[in-house]
Amino acid sequence: MGLTVSTNMGVPDVHDARDLPREVLALQATSPATFAVTALDGHRFAWVKPAGPAGPEQLIVADPATLQSWMKDEWKIGSVTGWPDTIGQLLGPEAMANTRSAEQHQRLRQLFSPMLRDDSMARMLPKIQGSVQRYMREWAAKGTVPAYTETLTLVFDVLVNQAMQLDWPDADIKKYAVLFEVWNQGFTPSTADPRWAKGMEARKELVARFRSAVSDPRLLPGSIPATLRDEYCAESDVVTDNLIMVLFAGFETSTSLTVRLLYELAKHPDALQKLRAEQQAVAAKYGPTLGLKALGAMTYTEAAISEALRLGQMVANVPRVATKAIETPRAPPVPAGCPFSASWAGQSVLDPAVQGSTTAFNPDRWLDKRNKASLKLHQTPFGYGTHSCLGWRIARAVAAAVAQELALAYELSAETDAAWDDFPTGSRPANELPLSLKPLAASAQ
* Per-residue pLDDT tens over the stretch 346-393: 999 999 999 999 999 999 999 999 999 999 999 999 888 777 888 899
pLDDT of residue 5: 32
Q: Provide the pairing of β-strand 339-343 with 317-322.
A: antiparallel
pLDDT score of 412 more than 90: yes
The pLDDT tens digits for 128-164 are 999 999 999 999 999 999 999 999 999 999 999 999 9
pLDDT of residue 144: 97
pLDDT of residue 53: 63
Q: What percent of the chain has pLDDT over 70?
A: 95
Q: What is the mean pLDDT of residues 111-132?
A: 93
Q: What is the mean pLDDT of residues 218-233?
A: 95
3-state secondary structure 229-254: HHHHCCCCHHHHHHHHHHHHHHHHHH
pLDDT of residue 390: 85
pLDDT of residue 425: 66
pLDDT of residue 97: 87
pLDDT of residue 4: 33
What number of other Cβ atoms are within 10 A of residue 123's Cβ?
14
Q: Comparing 349 with 5, which gets the higher pLDDT?
A: 349
The pLDDT tens digits for 284-333 are 999 999 999 999 999 999 999 999 999 988 777 888 999 999 988 889 99
Tell me the CATH class for 102-298+388-445: mainly alpha
| Mean pLDDT, rounded, of the chain | 91
Q: Is 338 annotated as a binding residue?
A: no
Q: What percent of the chain has pLDDT over 90?
A: 71
pLDDT score of 432 more than 80: yes
In sequence order, what are the beta bridge partners of 427?
422
Please state, in angstroms and rounded to a whole number, the distance separating the CA atoms of residues 308 and 77: 33
Please state, in angstroms and rounded to a whole number, the distance separating the CA atoms of residues 179 and 185: 10
Q: What is the mean pLDDT of residues 172-195?
A: 92
What is the chain's alpha carbon radius of gyration, rounded to the nearest angstrom? 22
Please state, in angstroms and rounded to a whole number, the distance separating the CA atoms of residues 98 and 91: 7
pLDDT score of 395 more than 70: yes
pLDDT score of 221 more than 90: yes
pLDDT score of 222 more than 90: yes
pTM of the predicted model as reported, rounded to 2 decimal places? 0.93
Model confidence at 2, pLDDT cuts 50, 70, 90, reads very low
Q: Comparing 28 with 232, which gets the higher pLDDT?
A: 232
